[in-house]
Structure 1
Protein backbone atom coordinates (compact mmCIF):
# COMPACT_ATOMS: atom_id res chain seq x y z
CA UNK A 1 0.00 0.00 0.00
CA UNK A 2 2.84 2.38 0.81
CA UNK A 3 4.36 1.76 -2.64
CA UNK A 4 1.01 2.47 -4.32
CA UNK A 5 0.61 5.65 -2.27
CA UNK A 6 4.04 6.91 -3.35
CA UNK A 7 3.36 5.93 -6.96
CA UNK A 8 0.07 7.83 -6.99
CA UNK A 9 1.82 10.78 -5.35
CA UNK A 10 4.23 10.96 -8.30
CA UNK A 11 1.25 10.85 -10.64
CA UNK A 12 -0.26 13.86 -8.87
CA UNK A 13 3.07 15.74 -8.94
CA UNK A 14 3.16 15.20 -12.73
CA UNK A 15 -0.50 16.36 -13.00
CA UNK A 16 -1.45 13.08 -14.70
CA UNK A 17 -4.48 12.79 -12.41
CA UNK A 18 -5.67 16.19 -13.68
CA UNK A 19 -5.14 15.02 -17.27
CA UNK A 20 -7.26 11.90 -16.70
CA UNK A 21 -9.88 13.99 -14.93
CA UNK A 22 -10.11 16.40 -17.87
CA UNK A 23 -10.47 13.54 -20.35
CA UNK A 24 -13.16 11.98 -18.14
CA UNK A 25 -14.90 15.37 -18.11
CA UNK A 26 -14.97 15.50 -21.91
CA UNK A 27 -16.45 11.98 -21.90
CA UNK A 28 -19.13 13.18 -19.46
CA UNK A 29 -20.21 16.00 -21.77
CA UNK A 30 -20.00 13.87 -24.90
CA UNK A 31 -22.39 11.32 -23.37
CA UNK A 32 -24.57 14.04 -21.83
CA UNK A 33 -24.99 15.78 -25.20
CA UNK A 34 -25.14 12.51 -27.15
CA UNK A 35 -22.35 13.38 -29.55
CA UNK A 36 -19.43 11.32 -30.81
CA UNK A 37 -15.96 12.61 -29.94
CA UNK A 38 -13.04 10.82 -31.57
CA UNK A 39 -10.27 9.45 -29.35
CA UNK A 40 -7.78 11.88 -30.91
CA UNK A 41 -9.65 14.78 -29.33
CA UNK A 42 -9.26 13.23 -25.88
CA UNK A 43 -5.52 12.83 -26.44
CA UNK A 44 -5.17 16.44 -27.62
CA UNK A 45 -7.08 17.66 -24.57
CA UNK A 46 -4.83 15.62 -22.30
CA UNK A 47 -1.67 17.03 -23.91
CA UNK A 48 -2.96 20.61 -23.61
CA UNK A 49 -3.97 20.17 -19.97
CA UNK A 50 -0.62 18.62 -19.07
CA UNK A 51 1.29 21.52 -20.67
CA UNK A 52 -0.86 24.14 -18.90
CA UNK A 53 -0.55 22.57 -15.46
CA UNK A 54 3.15 21.77 -15.86
CA UNK A 55 3.88 25.36 -16.91
CA UNK A 56 1.95 26.64 -13.89
CA UNK A 57 3.85 24.33 -11.51
CA UNK A 58 7.21 25.28 -13.03
CA UNK A 59 6.44 28.97 -12.54
CA UNK A 60 5.37 28.34 -8.94
CA UNK A 61 8.52 26.33 -8.23
CA UNK A 62 10.66 29.34 -9.17
CA UNK A 63 8.64 31.82 -7.09
CA UNK A 64 8.65 29.94 -3.80
CA UNK A 65 11.55 30.12 -1.30
CA UNK A 66 13.69 26.98 -1.08
CA UNK A 67 13.06 26.38 2.59
CA UNK A 68 9.30 26.78 2.34
CA UNK A 69 8.62 24.82 -0.84
CA UNK A 70 6.44 21.72 -0.56
CA UNK A 71 7.34 18.37 -2.12
CA UNK A 72 5.57 19.04 -5.42
CA UNK A 73 7.38 22.34 -5.89
CA UNK A 74 10.70 20.74 -4.96
CA UNK A 75 10.06 18.02 -7.55
CA UNK A 76 9.46 20.60 -10.28
CA UNK A 77 12.44 22.66 -9.17
CA UNK A 78 14.79 19.65 -9.10
CA UNK A 79 13.64 18.47 -12.53
CA UNK A 80 13.01 21.92 -14.01
CA UNK A 81 14.99 21.49 -17.25
CA UNK A 82 13.70 17.99 -17.97
CA UNK A 83 10.10 19.03 -17.37
CA UNK A 84 10.52 22.22 -19.41
CA UNK A 85 11.96 20.31 -22.37
CA UNK A 86 9.21 17.69 -22.04
CA UNK A 87 6.57 20.43 -21.96
CA UNK A 88 7.92 22.00 -25.16
CA UNK A 89 8.04 18.62 -26.92
CA UNK A 90 4.53 17.69 -25.77
CA UNK A 91 3.27 21.13 -26.81
CA UNK A 92 4.73 20.75 -30.31
CA UNK A 93 3.29 17.24 -30.62
CA UNK A 94 -0.09 18.61 -29.53
CA UNK A 95 0.09 21.45 -32.05
CA UNK A 96 1.00 19.07 -34.88
CA UNK A 97 -1.71 16.66 -33.78
CA UNK A 98 -4.34 19.41 -33.65
CA UNK A 99 -3.51 20.58 -37.18
CA UNK A 100 -3.49 16.99 -38.46
CA UNK A 101 -6.76 16.10 -36.71
CA UNK A 102 -8.82 19.25 -37.27
CA UNK A 103 -7.09 20.49 -40.44
CA UNK A 104 -7.29 24.18 -41.25
CA UNK A 105 -10.86 24.36 -40.04
CA UNK A 106 -13.23 26.36 -37.89
CA UNK A 107 -12.71 23.91 -35.01
CA UNK A 108 -8.94 24.52 -35.07
CA UNK A 109 -9.27 28.30 -35.01
CA UNK A 110 -12.04 28.16 -32.43
CA UNK A 111 -9.98 25.94 -30.12
CA UNK A 112 -6.83 28.04 -30.58
CA UNK A 113 -8.74 31.29 -30.15
CA UNK A 114 -10.43 30.01 -27.04
CA UNK A 115 -7.08 28.95 -25.61
CA UNK A 116 -5.49 32.34 -26.32
CA UNK A 117 -8.50 34.15 -24.83
CA UNK A 118 -8.41 32.05 -21.66
CA UNK A 119 -4.64 32.51 -21.31
CA UNK A 120 -4.93 36.27 -21.77
CA UNK A 121 -7.70 36.61 -19.19
CA UNK A 122 -5.82 34.44 -16.70
CA UNK A 123 -2.66 36.54 -17.11
CA UNK A 124 -4.68 39.71 -16.51
CA UNK A 125 -6.24 38.21 -13.40
CA UNK A 126 -2.81 37.16 -12.11
CA UNK A 127 -1.52 40.71 -12.66
CA UNK A 128 -4.40 42.34 -10.81
CA UNK A 129 -4.99 39.48 -8.36
CA UNK A 130 -4.36 41.70 -5.33
CA UNK A 131 -7.58 43.58 -6.01
CA UNK A 132 -9.62 40.73 -7.48
CA UNK A 133 -8.44 37.58 -5.70
CA UNK A 134 -11.92 36.05 -5.85
CA UNK A 135 -11.75 36.06 -9.66
CA UNK A 136 -8.87 33.58 -9.77
CA UNK A 137 -10.81 30.55 -8.50
CA UNK A 138 -14.05 31.52 -10.24
CA UNK A 139 -12.48 32.13 -13.65
CA UNK A 140 -10.33 29.00 -13.40
CA UNK A 141 -13.44 26.89 -12.69
CA UNK A 142 -15.33 28.37 -15.64
CA UNK A 143 -12.36 28.01 -18.00
CA UNK A 144 -11.76 24.42 -16.92
CA UNK A 145 -15.31 23.36 -17.75
CA UNK A 146 -15.33 25.38 -20.97
CA UNK A 147 -12.09 23.66 -21.96
CA UNK A 148 -13.38 20.11 -21.43
CA UNK A 149 -16.88 20.72 -22.82
CA UNK A 150 -16.53 23.12 -25.75
CA UNK A 151 -16.06 20.43 -28.42
CA UNK A 152 -19.13 18.37 -27.37
CA UNK A 153 -21.20 21.57 -27.11
CA UNK A 154 -19.89 22.73 -30.49
CA UNK A 155 -21.16 19.55 -32.14
CA UNK A 156 -24.69 19.99 -30.80
CA UNK A 157 -27.18 21.89 -32.93
CA UNK A 158 -28.82 24.83 -31.09
CA UNK A 159 -32.23 23.26 -31.62
CA UNK A 160 -31.08 20.26 -29.56
CA UNK A 161 -30.02 22.31 -26.52
CA UNK A 162 -31.80 21.27 -23.32
CA UNK A 163 -32.15 22.74 -19.84
CA UNK A 164 -30.98 19.42 -18.41
CA UNK A 165 -27.63 19.71 -20.21
CA UNK A 166 -27.27 23.37 -19.21
CA UNK A 167 -28.04 22.49 -15.59
CA UNK A 168 -25.42 19.73 -15.53
CA UNK A 169 -22.85 22.09 -17.08
CA UNK A 170 -23.51 24.72 -14.40
CA UNK A 171 -23.27 22.10 -11.64
CA UNK A 172 -19.96 20.90 -13.11
CA UNK A 173 -18.69 24.49 -13.00
CA UNK A 174 -19.90 24.76 -9.41
CA UNK A 175 -18.03 21.56 -8.56
CA UNK A 176 -14.83 22.87 -10.18
CA UNK A 177 -15.22 26.08 -8.15
CA UNK A 178 -15.82 24.06 -4.96
CA UNK A 179 -12.65 22.07 -5.67
CA UNK A 180 -10.57 25.25 -6.03
CA UNK A 181 -12.12 26.82 -2.92
CA UNK A 182 -11.27 23.71 -0.92
CA UNK A 183 -7.71 23.59 -2.27
CA UNK A 184 -7.30 27.29 -1.47
CA UNK A 185 -8.41 26.60 2.09
CA UNK A 186 -5.91 23.75 2.41
CA UNK A 187 -3.16 26.13 1.22
CA UNK A 188 -4.27 29.07 3.40
CA UNK A 189 -1.51 28.75 5.99
CA UNK A 190 1.20 28.53 3.32
CA UNK A 191 -0.28 31.47 1.40
CA UNK A 192 -0.12 33.61 4.52
CA UNK A 193 3.41 32.38 5.25
CA UNK A 194 4.59 33.18 1.70
CA UNK A 195 2.73 36.50 1.63
CA UNK A 196 0.55 35.42 -1.33
CA UNK A 197 -2.83 37.01 -2.00
CA UNK A 198 -5.68 34.50 -2.39
CA UNK A 199 -9.32 34.01 -1.50
CA UNK A 200 -8.18 32.11 1.60
CA UNK A 201 -6.18 35.10 2.87
CA UNK A 202 -8.91 37.60 1.99
CA UNK A 203 -11.60 35.79 4.01
CA UNK A 204 -11.48 34.75 7.62
CA UNK A 205 -11.18 30.97 8.19
CA UNK A 206 -14.77 30.86 9.43
CA UNK A 207 -16.14 32.73 6.40
CA UNK A 208 -14.19 30.54 3.98
CA UNK A 209 -15.40 27.31 5.56
CA UNK A 210 -18.97 28.59 5.65
CA UNK A 211 -18.92 29.39 1.90
CA UNK A 212 -17.43 25.97 1.13
CA UNK A 213 -20.06 24.21 3.24
CA UNK A 214 -22.97 26.16 1.73
CA UNK A 215 -21.75 25.63 -1.84
CA UNK A 216 -21.23 21.90 -1.27
CA UNK A 217 -24.73 21.51 0.20
CA UNK A 218 -26.25 23.50 -2.69
CA UNK A 219 -24.51 21.29 -5.28
CA UNK A 220 -25.59 18.14 -3.43
CA UNK A 221 -29.18 19.39 -3.32
CA UNK A 222 -29.31 20.37 -7.01
CA UNK A 223 -27.73 17.06 -8.06
CA UNK A 224 -30.17 15.10 -5.88
CA UNK A 225 -33.18 16.97 -7.31
CA UNK A 226 -31.89 16.38 -10.85
CA UNK A 227 -31.52 12.69 -10.03
CA UNK A 228 -35.20 12.63 -9.05
CA UNK A 229 -36.71 14.72 -11.85
CA UNK A 230 -34.49 13.90 -14.86
CA UNK A 231 -35.76 11.26 -17.32
CA UNK A 232 -34.59 7.78 -16.40
CA UNK A 233 -32.08 7.59 -19.28
CA UNK A 234 -30.38 10.82 -18.11
CA UNK A 235 -30.20 10.13 -14.38
CA UNK A 236 -26.70 8.70 -14.66
CA UNK A 237 -25.33 12.23 -15.13
CA UNK A 238 -26.67 13.84 -11.92
CA UNK A 239 -25.77 10.59 -10.13
CA UNK A 240 -22.15 10.97 -11.20
CA UNK A 241 -22.05 14.64 -10.17
CA UNK A 242 -23.69 13.78 -6.85
CA UNK A 243 -20.96 11.21 -6.19
CA UNK A 244 -18.20 13.66 -7.21
CA UNK A 245 -19.53 16.37 -4.88
CA UNK A 246 -19.95 13.85 -2.05
CA UNK A 247 -16.33 12.66 -2.41
CA UNK A 248 -15.20 16.30 -2.16
CA UNK A 249 -17.37 16.97 0.89
CA UNK A 250 -16.42 13.76 2.71
CA UNK A 251 -12.71 14.18 1.96
CA UNK A 252 -12.45 17.85 2.87
CA UNK A 253 -14.28 17.58 6.19
CA UNK A 254 -12.61 14.29 7.19
CA UNK A 255 -10.39 15.14 10.15
CA UNK A 256 -8.53 11.83 9.81
CA UNK A 257 -6.95 12.88 6.50
CA UNK A 258 -4.02 15.25 6.08
CA UNK A 259 -3.99 18.00 3.44
CA UNK A 260 -2.12 15.91 0.86
CA UNK A 261 -4.56 13.00 1.20
CA UNK A 262 -7.55 15.33 0.89
CA UNK A 263 -6.04 16.91 -2.22
CA UNK A 264 -5.40 13.55 -3.91
CA UNK A 265 -8.92 12.26 -3.21
CA UNK A 266 -10.58 15.42 -4.47
CA UNK A 267 -8.54 15.41 -7.67
CA UNK A 268 -9.29 11.71 -8.14
CA UNK A 269 -13.02 12.52 -7.94
CA UNK A 270 -12.80 14.12 -11.39
CA UNK A 271 -11.97 10.70 -12.85
CA UNK A 272 -15.34 9.31 -11.76
CA UNK A 273 -17.05 10.18 -15.10
CA UNK A 274 -14.74 7.58 -16.61
CA UNK A 275 -17.28 5.04 -15.30
CA UNK A 276 -19.39 6.00 -18.31
CA UNK A 277 -17.08 3.78 -20.37
CA UNK A 278 -18.84 0.84 -18.73
CA UNK A 279 -22.26 1.87 -20.06
Structure 2
Protein backbone atom coordinates (compact mmCIF):
# COMPACT_ATOMS: atom_id res chain seq x y z
CA UNK A 1 0.00 0.00 0.00
CA UNK A 2 2.74 2.45 0.99
CA UNK A 3 4.74 1.54 -2.11
CA UNK A 4 1.75 2.24 -4.35
CA UNK A 5 1.10 5.65 -2.75
CA UNK A 6 4.79 6.55 -3.03
CA UNK A 7 4.81 5.40 -6.67
CA UNK A 8 1.96 7.73 -7.67
CA UNK A 9 3.35 10.51 -5.45
CA UNK A 10 6.61 10.25 -7.39
CA UNK A 11 5.42 9.69 -10.98
CA UNK A 12 2.83 12.47 -10.74
CA UNK A 13 5.53 14.88 -9.44
CA UNK A 14 3.65 15.68 -6.23
CA UNK A 15 7.04 15.76 -4.48
CA UNK A 16 8.19 18.49 -6.89
CA UNK A 17 5.01 20.48 -6.27
CA UNK A 18 5.45 20.24 -2.49
CA UNK A 19 9.07 21.33 -2.87
CA UNK A 20 8.02 24.35 -4.93
CA UNK A 21 5.41 25.41 -2.39
CA UNK A 22 7.76 24.98 0.57
CA UNK A 23 10.53 26.86 -1.27
CA UNK A 24 8.12 29.69 -2.06
CA UNK A 25 7.01 29.75 1.57
CA UNK A 26 10.68 30.04 2.59
CA UNK A 27 11.26 32.85 0.07
CA UNK A 28 8.11 34.60 1.27
CA UNK A 29 9.24 34.31 4.88
CA UNK A 30 12.77 35.54 4.18
CA UNK A 31 11.53 38.50 2.13
CA UNK A 32 8.58 39.23 4.43
CA UNK A 33 6.19 39.04 1.48
CA UNK A 34 2.42 39.18 1.69
CA UNK A 35 1.39 36.72 -1.01
CA UNK A 36 -2.29 36.31 -1.69
CA UNK A 37 -4.22 33.04 -1.74
CA UNK A 38 -4.25 33.09 -5.54
CA UNK A 39 -0.46 32.73 -5.63
CA UNK A 40 -0.57 29.73 -3.29
CA UNK A 41 -3.15 28.03 -5.52
CA UNK A 42 -1.62 28.92 -8.88
CA UNK A 43 1.99 28.08 -8.00
CA UNK A 44 1.42 24.35 -7.33
CA UNK A 45 -1.02 23.92 -10.22
CA UNK A 46 1.32 25.63 -12.66
CA UNK A 47 4.36 23.68 -11.45
CA UNK A 48 2.40 20.45 -11.84
CA UNK A 49 1.26 21.37 -15.36
CA UNK A 50 4.81 22.22 -16.47
CA UNK A 51 6.34 19.06 -15.01
CA UNK A 52 3.50 16.91 -16.35
CA UNK A 53 3.89 18.38 -19.83
CA UNK A 54 7.62 17.72 -19.70
CA UNK A 55 7.11 14.09 -18.61
CA UNK A 56 4.44 13.61 -21.26
CA UNK A 57 6.72 14.95 -24.02
CA UNK A 58 9.60 12.76 -22.85
CA UNK A 59 7.31 9.73 -22.60
CA UNK A 60 5.90 10.41 -26.05
CA UNK A 61 9.38 10.75 -27.60
CA UNK A 62 10.71 7.57 -25.97
CA UNK A 63 7.48 5.54 -26.11
CA UNK A 64 8.03 2.04 -24.68
CA UNK A 65 11.84 2.40 -24.67
CA UNK A 66 12.07 4.54 -21.54
CA UNK A 67 13.71 3.16 -18.41
CA UNK A 68 12.25 6.05 -16.39
CA UNK A 69 9.03 5.05 -14.55
CA UNK A 70 7.60 8.58 -14.96
CA UNK A 71 7.97 8.59 -18.73
CA UNK A 72 6.56 5.08 -18.98
CA UNK A 73 3.59 6.04 -16.77
CA UNK A 74 2.89 9.19 -18.79
CA UNK A 75 3.13 7.29 -22.06
CA UNK A 76 0.80 4.50 -20.93
CA UNK A 77 -1.76 6.94 -19.46
CA UNK A 78 -1.25 9.71 -22.01
CA UNK A 79 -4.88 10.34 -22.98
CA UNK A 80 -6.13 10.67 -19.41
CA UNK A 81 -3.12 12.74 -18.34
CA UNK A 82 -3.34 15.03 -21.37
CA UNK A 83 -6.97 15.78 -20.52
CA UNK A 84 -6.27 16.37 -16.81
CA UNK A 85 -3.14 18.43 -17.50
CA UNK A 86 -5.02 20.47 -20.10
CA UNK A 87 -7.89 21.19 -17.72
CA UNK A 88 -5.52 22.22 -14.92
CA UNK A 89 -3.56 24.39 -17.40
CA UNK A 90 -6.76 26.14 -18.52
CA UNK A 91 -7.76 26.68 -14.89
CA UNK A 92 -4.32 28.14 -14.08
CA UNK A 93 -4.27 30.38 -17.14
CA UNK A 94 -7.78 31.78 -16.66
CA UNK A 95 -7.34 32.18 -12.90
CA UNK A 96 -4.01 33.92 -13.40
CA UNK A 97 -5.52 36.45 -15.78
CA UNK A 98 -8.58 36.95 -13.59
CA UNK A 99 -6.97 37.20 -10.16
CA UNK A 100 -3.31 38.18 -10.36
CA UNK A 101 -2.16 41.77 -10.34
CA UNK A 102 -0.58 43.15 -13.50
CA UNK A 103 2.96 43.18 -12.11
CA UNK A 104 2.97 39.52 -11.12
CA UNK A 105 1.06 38.55 -14.28
CA UNK A 106 3.77 40.15 -16.46
CA UNK A 107 6.51 38.28 -14.57
CA UNK A 108 4.56 35.04 -15.01
CA UNK A 109 4.16 35.77 -18.73
CA UNK A 110 7.92 36.27 -19.16
CA UNK A 111 8.65 33.02 -17.30
CA UNK A 112 5.94 31.33 -19.38
CA UNK A 113 7.60 32.44 -22.62
CA UNK A 114 10.93 31.04 -21.46
CA UNK A 115 9.17 27.82 -20.42
CA UNK A 116 7.72 27.44 -23.92
CA UNK A 117 11.21 28.01 -25.36
CA UNK A 118 12.49 25.36 -22.95
CA UNK A 119 9.94 22.87 -24.28
CA UNK A 120 10.73 23.69 -27.92
CA UNK A 121 14.50 23.37 -27.42
CA UNK A 122 14.03 20.18 -25.41
CA UNK A 123 11.73 18.63 -28.01
CA UNK A 124 14.00 19.56 -30.92
CA UNK A 125 17.07 18.43 -28.95
CA UNK A 126 19.00 21.58 -29.80
CA UNK A 127 22.74 20.85 -29.26
CA UNK A 128 23.53 23.97 -27.19
CA UNK A 129 20.52 23.48 -24.91
CA UNK A 130 21.25 22.29 -21.39
CA UNK A 131 17.90 21.01 -20.13
CA UNK A 132 18.73 20.59 -16.42
CA UNK A 133 20.19 24.09 -16.19
CA UNK A 134 17.13 25.55 -17.90
CA UNK A 135 14.79 23.70 -15.54
CA UNK A 136 16.66 24.92 -12.45
CA UNK A 137 16.62 28.56 -13.62
CA UNK A 138 12.91 28.48 -14.52
CA UNK A 139 12.02 26.66 -11.28
CA UNK A 140 13.92 29.20 -9.17
CA UNK A 141 12.49 32.16 -11.07
CA UNK A 142 8.96 30.81 -10.72
CA UNK A 143 9.34 30.35 -6.98
CA UNK A 144 11.09 33.62 -6.17
CA UNK A 145 9.39 36.15 -8.47
CA UNK A 146 6.23 36.39 -6.37
CA UNK A 147 7.98 36.91 -3.03
CA UNK A 148 10.38 39.43 -4.61
CA UNK A 149 7.55 41.45 -6.18
CA UNK A 150 5.53 41.50 -2.96
CA UNK A 151 8.32 42.03 -0.45
CA UNK A 152 8.07 44.73 2.18
CA UNK A 153 11.86 45.02 2.26
CA UNK A 154 13.80 47.64 0.35
CA UNK A 155 15.43 46.76 -2.96
CA UNK A 156 18.99 46.74 -1.65
CA UNK A 157 18.03 44.34 1.17
CA UNK A 158 16.51 41.96 -1.36
CA UNK A 159 19.50 41.95 -3.70
CA UNK A 160 22.00 41.64 -0.85
CA UNK A 161 20.02 38.72 0.54
CA UNK A 162 19.83 36.98 -2.83
CA UNK A 163 23.47 37.26 -3.78
CA UNK A 164 25.42 37.32 -0.50
Using the size of structure 1 for normalisation, the TM-score is 0.53
Match of 1:112 among 94, 109, 114: 109
Q: Which has the larger radius of gyration?
A: 1
For 1:30 and 1:63, locate their aligned partners in 2 and report how far apart those are by CA, in whole Å: 37
Q: How far did 1:126 drift? A: 5.4
CA RMSD for the aligned pairs?
2.1
Q: Distance in 2 between matches of 1:149 and 1:86?
A: 27
How do residues 147-166 of structure 1 correspond to structure 2 at under 5 angstroms?
Answer: 147-156=142-151, 157-166=154-163
1:128 to partner: Cα distance: 5.4
Specify which of 140, 144, 164 is matched with residue 139 of structure 2.
144
Distance 1:35 1:78, change over 3 A: same
Please name the residue that 1:46 is paired with: 44
The SS at the match of 2:18 is helix
Matches within 5 A, 1:1-279: 3-103=1-101, 105-121=102-118, 123-124=120-121, 127=124, 129-130=126-127, 132=128, 135-156=130-151, 157-167=154-164
For 1:62-103, what per-residue CA distance to the aligned partner results, in whole angstroms no more than 9, with x for missing partners?
A: 111425444322221221111000011101111121122215
**Greater shift in the superposed pair: 136-145 or 54-63:** 136-145
Relative contact order higher in (CA < 8 Å, ≥ 6 apart): 2
Indicate if the aligned counterparts of 1:61 and 1:69 stay in contact, CA closer than 8 A: no
The structure-2 alpha-carbon separation of the partners of 1:22 and 1:79, relative to structure 1 and needing over 3 Å to count, comes to same
Shift of 1:53: 0.8
* Runs (4+) off by over 6 Å: none
> How many residue pairs align between the two structures?
162
Checking the alignment, whether the CA contact within 8 Å between 1:126 and 1:136 is kept in structure 2 is: no
Question: SS where residue 36 of structure 1 aligns?
Answer: coil
Q: Cα deviation per residue 1:231-250 (whole Å; 9 max; x = unaligned)?
A: xxxxxxxxxxxxxxxxxxxx
CA distance in 2 between counterparts of 1:6 and 1:68 reads 20
Contact 2:111 2:141 in 1 (8 A): no
Q: Secondary structure at the match of 2:33?
A: coil
Compared with structure 1, are the counterparts of its residues 80 and 118 closer, same or farther at alpha carbon in structure 2 (3 Å cutoff)?
closer
Q: Which segment is superposed worse, 116-125 or 139-148? A: 116-125
Asked if the contact 1:33–1:152 (Cα under 8 Å) also holds between the matched residues in 2, the reply is yes
Per-residue deviation at 1:36? 1.5
Counterpart-to-counterpart distance in 2, 1:153 and 1:141? 18
